[in-house]
Amino acid sequence: MTLKQLHCLAALAEARHFRRAAEIVGISQPSLSAQIQNLESALRIRLVDRVRAGISLTPAGREIAERANRMIAEERAMIDFASAATIGLAGTIRLGAAPTVGPYLLPHIVSSLHRKDSGLGLYVREDAPHSLEQDLARGEHDLLLTPLAPSSADFASEILFREPLYLAVAADHR
């Protein structure tokens, strides 16, 4: 059984006629007939009855056509996902964040993702920077937000910003 055969069956179920189904799929009518026959052989069941006005699906043919449509929809979703993923707009990013950084930056990152409706998912795990780096080495994270530079030359890093730190005391303090 192939996806092409399932596409042919779905088109035939929609068109109820071999010639029109062949046009939908973009192949010749004899090729469509051969695809349906090969599918019936692979499944060892009759799917289609030829009738005067075109075709009639058998009860098994109706059920298999419905399942074929679900598989075709899933195939389209997979293609759409892969297309979006090639430009970085799909999937789940596994982010490791140090507890001292995560609470300050993550609300901005998450709200930005939601505003853009990018299709990206975000999985966040907080831990100490050293543990996060070990997890990154094992492939458990895609990237880290940490106040420390990585200790291994195996990782590339970028300074995102420098945050000033002030000491404040009462004006009359000595």
State both tokens at 157. Answer: 């890093």
pLDDT of the residue at 87: 66
Structural domains of the chain in order of their starting residue, each with its CATH number: 3-85 (1.10.10.10), 88-174 (3.40.190.10)
Q: Comparing C-alpha atoms, which of 51, 17, 22 is closest to residue 34?
A: 22
pLDDT of the residue at 21: 95
**Do the strands 91-97 and 120-126 form a parallel or antiparallel pair, or are they unpaired?**
parallel
State both tokens at 149. Answer: 């530079």
Average pLDDT on 31-42 reads: 96
In whole angstroms, give the CA distance from residue 73 to residue 66: 11
How do residues 65-94 score in pLDDT, each as one tens digit? Answer: 999 999 999 988 888 777 766 666 667 888
Chain center to CA of 150: 30
How do residues 7-19 score in pLDDT, each as one tens digit? Answer: 999 999 999 999 9
pLDDT of the residue at 85: 66
How do residues 118-161 score in pLDDT, each as one tens digit? Answer: 667 788 889 999 999 999 999 999 889 888 888 888 888 888 77
Query: Does 59 or 143 have the greater pLDDT score?
Result: 59
**CB 38, CB 5: distance < 8 Å:** yes
Q: Can you name the residues that pair with 121 across neighbouring β-strands?
A: 92
How do residues 93-121 score in pLDDT, each as one tens digit? Answer: 888 988 887 777 778 777 776 666 566 77
